[in-house]
């Protein structure tokens, strides 16, 4: 299961772009925090968010510069569409049958409180 988020990056030169951040980039950002002794996502939420965007751009071949250099060009990073938890359902042969999302209010049985 992964949480897919759409994130908007605004740069100093005024342009912006929207990216879909996946579990892969979230894991890369978590590793960056750990490897650089910066704590956890809860300790450094802004750095976490920035690094997952950076990881997305690097993996897409859109960046070559180091994280800190790229970060100097950024004005703001924000989630613009909430994440949706999805799970891929596959047949035994590996064919994707469907994408399933978690049912709303599953843990609360449809009531406002658990």
Rounded to the nearest integer, the mean pLDDT of the chain is 80
Torsion, CA 102, CA 103, CA 106, CA 107, rounded to 10: 30
Q: Which residue has the tokens 């949706």?
A: 84
- Flag whether 106 is in a domain: no
Question: Average pLDDT, stretch 42-64?
Answer: 94
Q: Per-residue confidence at 90, pLDDT binned at 50, 70, 90?
A: low
Judged against a pLDDT cut of 50, whether residue 45 lies above it is answered with: yes
Whether the model clears a pTM of 0.85, i.e. scores above it, the answer is no
CA 37 to chain centre: 20
- Flag whether 89 is in a domain: no
**Domain housing 45:** 2-83
- Flag whether 93 is in a domain: no
Number of domains within the chain: 1
Question: Average pLDDT, stretch 34-62?
Answer: 94
Do β-strands 74-90 and 16-21 pair in parallel, antiparallel, or remain unpaired? unpaired
CB atoms within 10 A of CB 30: 15
Condensed to tens digits (0 to 9), the pLDDT of residues 70-84 reads 999 999 999 887 655
**According to DSSP H, which parts of 36-80 are helical?**
45-59, 67-71
């Amino acid at each position: 299961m992964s949480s897919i988020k759409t994130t908007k990056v605004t740069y100093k030169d005024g342009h912006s772009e929207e990216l879909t951040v996946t579990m892969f980039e979230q894991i890369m950002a978590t590793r960056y925090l750990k490897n650089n002794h910066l704590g956890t996502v809860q300790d450094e939420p802004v750095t976490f968010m920035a690094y997952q965007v950076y990881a997305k751009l690097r993996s897409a071949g859109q960046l070559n510069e180091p994280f800190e250099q790229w970060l100097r060009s950024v004005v703001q990073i924000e989630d613009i569409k909430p994440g949706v938890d999805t799970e891929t359902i596959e047949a035994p042969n590996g064919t994707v049958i469907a994408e399933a999302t978690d049912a709303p209010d599953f843990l609360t049985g449809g009531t406002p409180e658990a």
